A and B are shown apart, each in its own frame.
Chain A
Amino acid sequence: MAETRRSLPSRIWRAIPPGIRAPLGVVSAVIALVWVVLCLIGPQITPHDPLAQNLPLYQPPGVDTLLGTDELGRDVFSRILAGAQVTVGLALLLVVMSMVVGSVLGVVAGFFGRWVDEAIMRFTDLVMAFPTVILAMVTAAALGASLFNAVLAALIVSWPPYARVVRSMVLSLRHQEYVASGRLLGFSPLKSIGVDILPNVAGPTLVMASADIGTAALLLSGLSFLGLGAKPPSPEWGAMVSSAVRHFDKWWMGVFPGLAILTVVICFNFLGDALRDYFDPKGATR
């Protein structure tokens, strides 16, 4: 129990295997932080207007246009900075939303049991029976192409793992003595969930969510790449790579937005891995 009293940053730090703690952990944490900051201030600090088509077309990377210009004379670097808000911001939003939806369903299923549990878990099985990309694509196509619908479609495929994990945690918590005694004291289900169950479920769920941010960014940019997400002028990274397919000899148009996606996914995956290793001691030795 002494472990849990350490501050979160120190726990995260200890989670990183000592051999790679210095370079990898720090680098990925820093990159993740940079992207989150850019997600907030990115659009304000772009050197050029990310939407204005006022530069020479197909400019290779140079001094003025750091990462070149695209087929409409827009600055790739500025678009990547502005796009952080779209890709990273929506990935964070998606993870939070799937965590909330999945946790609510998982808590309800685990706490009330019986037919509620059956109904929710069979529904979860059903959604999980589909491969994620395909189901998200099918849903996004049915709803119509827009960024909002892409997030909605991604949400539909992203909540089930949370529901499963949270439910199994609630099931084991329900039989703990302090939860039972709370109920004997006359706690309403809502109070019992809020006071006794949620605080215990929150930690592992957050760890799971942090490992999920990279996947969310990949899924959303993939949908935009397919033309089912961001609409053309929007500087979404997946959509930028998609437009580069038609101009693949102008390598900078596709390579840099792709690298942006890659760095986001890698650093959040590294952080998520480190967190999971730490909170799951059995996994940490592995």
Chain B
Amino acid sequence: MPQPSVSPASGDNSDPALPSAGRQGRRSHAALLRYLGKRLVISVFLLFGITLVTFILTNLVPGDPVAAAVGQRAAEDPAVVAAFRAKYGLDLPLPQQYANYLARLVQFDLGTSWQTHNPVAKDLSTAIPATMEIAFAAIVCAAIIGVVFGAWSAYKRGKITDQVLRMVSLVGISVPTFWMAIVCFYVFYYRLGIAPGSGRLTPGVSAPPHVTGMYTVDALLAGDLRAFVDAAAHLSLPTLVLTLYTIGLLTRFSRTSFLEVLDSVYVRAAKAKGLPGRTVFFKYVLRAAAIPILTVVGLAFGSLLSGTVLVESIFSWPGLGSYAYQSASNLDLLAVMGVGLFVGVVYLSINLAIDIAYGFIDPRVRVG
């Protein structure tokens, strides 16, 4: 505070003339609002940035979109090209094109896929629930196991348990997920026959009525136990593969968070005054470590969404990943951009939510 003060030792708090608590409360309230406002503005700019990136990649790539769309022979006729460019606004100046692109995006018009001939937004609306089903299942499993491993490893710091868990988690993040998917499919389906094959349901089992688009949830809502069991069984292998990767990530990060808390003075004090280990863990350690761990779980969820790109295609799971894979390998650009845009926005929202949560929980963040 650059406030001139009469006596050098007196800060704001020690001045009895000021209702310090009230003033501070109001100030920290304003600081929180300012912080939230700043984060929101930054997010909006990043959102524009994301659209700008996809716009540039969609429109300015080497290779002629006209030739790709109307065919090589028609592209040799200048009249056809001019008509095409006028129709899709390709003859307009670039800022104008970008504005048009944004106007279309606001209406959820992401263009039409060359491959499926559907609007990309429509394809995405069926693919997203399928992916979310795996992603939610995997993040829940991975968060539980990863946090337990992280805590265990931190408590046994330097011991053999810690070394083994650290090694396992490092191996976990080193495994190529697409390879792990093939190995799991081969072992559990082809060799052992304990997992169902690819897809979301066994042929013959009818899909439950559409509510959320997640078959397990929809089947439960409809009370269709047979469809639920079948959908859950099909869900198991892709979830397993993504969980294995995410466990490694979460174990490593939650271990660090737990270690920081375990080193803190108040935890040592709690131990020193003889509180039982369980009380110390649940009342002190877990509570303090929860925030950074939640952050990492949020970020892991984002990376999990990109992990599905490499896994879903192997299990013929008709989600975002398969869609992205098929569009990318057929160079169906608009579809790829649609997936990129969606995942980018999800990523951004998670980051914003984390920032806001931090602002509420940790006063140091909003002051700094």
Chain A contacts to B: CB under 8 angstroms: 17, 19-20, 24, 122, 125-126, 129-135, 137-145, 214, 218, 221-222, 225-228, 238, 241-242, 244-245, 248-249, 251, 254-255, 257-258, 261-262, 265-266, 269-270, 273, 286
Contact = CB atoms under 8 A, between A and B. Distances in A.
Interface stretch (B98-106, B126-134, B175-183, B280-288): B175-183
Given A129-B49, A266-B171, A137 B176 contact: no
B328 A134 contact: no
Contacts of A265: 174-176
A130 B176 contact: no
Contact of A131 (B171, B305, B328): B305
A178 B12 CA distance: 38
Contacts, number: 154
Contacts of B255: 286
A143 B344 CA distance: 19
A241 B174 contact: no
Contact of A145 (B58, B171, B331, B344): B331
A222 B178 contact: yes
Contacts of B46: 125-126, 129
A218 B259 CA distance: 29
B333 interface: yes
A142 B314 contact: no
19 contacts: A19-B158, A134-B309, A134-B339, A134-B344, A137-B328, A139-B57, A141-B333, A142-B57, A142-B333, A144-B63, A218-B174, A225-B178, A228-B329, A249-B190, A251-B186, A254-B182, A255-B183, A262-B179, A286-B256
Interface of B: 42, 45-46, 49-50, 53-54, 57-58, 61-63, 157-158, 160, 163, 167, 170-171, 173-176, 178-180, 182-183, 185-186, 190, 255-256, 259, 302-303, 305-307, 309-310, 313-314, 324-325, 327-329, 331, 333, 336-337, 339-340, 343-344, 347-348, 351
A131 B347 contact: yes
Contacts of A241: 176, 178-179, 182
B163 A221 contact: no
Contact of A214 (B54, B174, B302, B333): B174
Given A129-B49, A245-B314, 14 more contacts: A126-B46, A126-B53, A133-B310, A134-B339, A135-B340, A137-B324, A138-B57, A144-B331, A145-B331, A221-B176, A248-B182, A248-B185, A255-B183, A258-B182
B260 to A, nearest CB: 9
Nearest to A132: B306
B62 A144 contact: yes
Nearest to B58: A142
Nearest to B310: A222
Main secondary structure of the interface of A (DSSP, over half): helix
A272 B178 CA distance: 23
Contacts of A144: 61-63, 331
Contacts of A238: 176, 178
Query: Which of A131, A225, A226, A248 has the most chain B CB within a 10 Å cutoff?
Result: A131
Contact of B302 (A122, A131, A248, A257): A131
Q: Which 10 residue pairs across A and B have the least CB separation, nearest first?
A: A258-B179, A133-B306, A126-B49, A265-B174, A138-B340, A227-B329, A142-B57, A131-B306, A266-B174, A142-B61
Contacts of B339: 134, 138
A141 B174 contact: no
A24 B306 CA distance: 31
A249 B186 CA distance: 7
Contact of B182 (A17, A222, A245, A273): A245
Contacts of B307: 133
Given A24-B167, A138-B337, A142-B58, A129 B314 contact: no
Nearest to A265: B174
Contacts of B333: 141-142
Contact of A226 (B54, B174, B175, B329): B329
Contacts of A138: 54, 57, 336-337, 339-340
Contacts of B331: 141, 144-145
Contacts of A143: 61-62
Given A129-B347, A221-B176, A244 B310 contact: no
A158 to B, nearest CB: 14
B343 to A, nearest CB: 5
Contacts of A266: 170-171, 174
Contacts of B179: 241, 254-255, 257-258, 261-262
Given A129-B348, A131-B306, A262-B179, A273 B340 contact: no
Contacts of B309: 133-134, 137, 226
A228 B313 CA distance: 14
A221 B325 CA distance: 14
Contact of B183 (A125, A137, A258): A258
B50 A130 contact: yes
Nearest to B179: A258
Contact of B170 (A226, A273, A286): A273
A255 B191 CA distance: 14
A244 B179 CA distance: 10
Contacts of A261: 176, 179
A226 B185 CA distance: 18
Query: Which of B171, B176, B313, B348 has the most chain A CB within a 10 Å cutoff?
Result: B176
A266 B166 CA distance: 12
A129 B174 contact: no
B319 to A, nearest CB: 14
B182 A244 contact: yes
A130 B173 contact: no
Contacts of B325: 226
